[in-house]
Amino acid sequence: MKLILPQRDTFIGPDPDDAASDAAATAALAAHVAAADPHGGYLLDAAMTSHEGAADPHPGYLLESAIDWQDWSPTYVNLNIGSTGTEVARYVQIEKTVHFYWRVTLSGTGLAVSGDVSVTLPITAASAYGNPSPIGLAFFVETGVATVHGSCHLTAASATSMILRYWNTATAPNVRNALLGAGLPHTWGSTDVLSASGTYEAA
């Protein structure tokens, strides 16, 4: 039986993989049962929220804290989004797994992509990573013209930043990861977009 508690009135049902523990675990939870559920489970009252994130004393039950996406504030190397540029940086961590989404729109004075771009991560990566370790996809939009695909990578164990690469098709039939720059993969201007999303293991 698996119990997930993002809020009050969570459904608990039988766990076919651990049926032997259901009776004991159900009895232990009885004090928190608010009502019977017509599907054969139970609805829990608000008092059960005090147990979120605690160790599981009954095999067959798993209590998980509410999981929410949140902002982070990355810093950049060789990237200036401009005086009126906009940024979206969101992530969620579930145990040791981090999912993230990052997007900037260039605008205003000072905007520049001046070399090999790196972006700080929301959570330090695990020590198992090496160079290169791809963790997701990237997109580089020349607004009204074209979108170039690419990827994001870790380059060291316990990395705190990711680097961005675009896929250079000039070497066709081979496609190679290439560094961003002032004119790469295109000339950068207002409303152009850089974005990346991916998943990695946290330290």
Tens of pLDDT, residues 13-29: 455 555 555 666 566 55
Please state the rounded mean pLDDT for residues 164-184.
92
Look at the chain and report how many structural domains it folds into: 2
CA–CA dist 130, 155 (Å, integer): 6
Is 104 found in the same domain as 39? no
Q: Are residues 90 and 155 in the same domain?
A: yes
Please classify residue 98 by burial: count the beta carbons closer than 10 Å to its beta carbon, then call 0-12 exposed, 13-18 middle and 19+ buried: buried
Give me the mean pLDDT over the 105-110 stretch: 98
Residue 7's pLDDT band (boundaries 50, 70, 90)? Answer: very low
Name the band, by pLDDT with cuts 50, 70 and 90, for residue 67: confident
Kindly tell me the sign of the dihedral angle through the C-alpha atoms of 119, 120, 124, 130: positive
Lowest mean pLDDT among 47-51, 64-68, 120-124, 196-200: 47-51
DSSP-assigned states of every residue in 175-189: -EEEE-BTTBSS---
Question: Is 58 a residue whose pLDDT tops 70?
Answer: no
136 and 86 co-located in one domain: yes
Placement of tokens 């049962």 in the chain: 33
For residues 59 and 80, state if they share a domain: no
32 and 46 in a single domain? The answer is: yes
pLDDT class for 172, splitting at 50, 70, 90?
confident
Say whether both 77 and 44 belong to one domain: no
- Kindly state whether residues 52 and 74 are assigned to the same domain: no
Residues 1 and 91 in one domain: no
| Same domain (yes/no): 86, 148 | yes
Supply the mean pLDDT for the chain: 82
Whole-number Å distance between alpha carbons of 187 and 146: 12
Which structural domain, as residue segments, surrounds residue 4? 1-66
Are residue 88 and residue 137 in the same domain, yes or no? Answer: yes
Which of 66, 83, 109 terminates a domain? The answer is 66
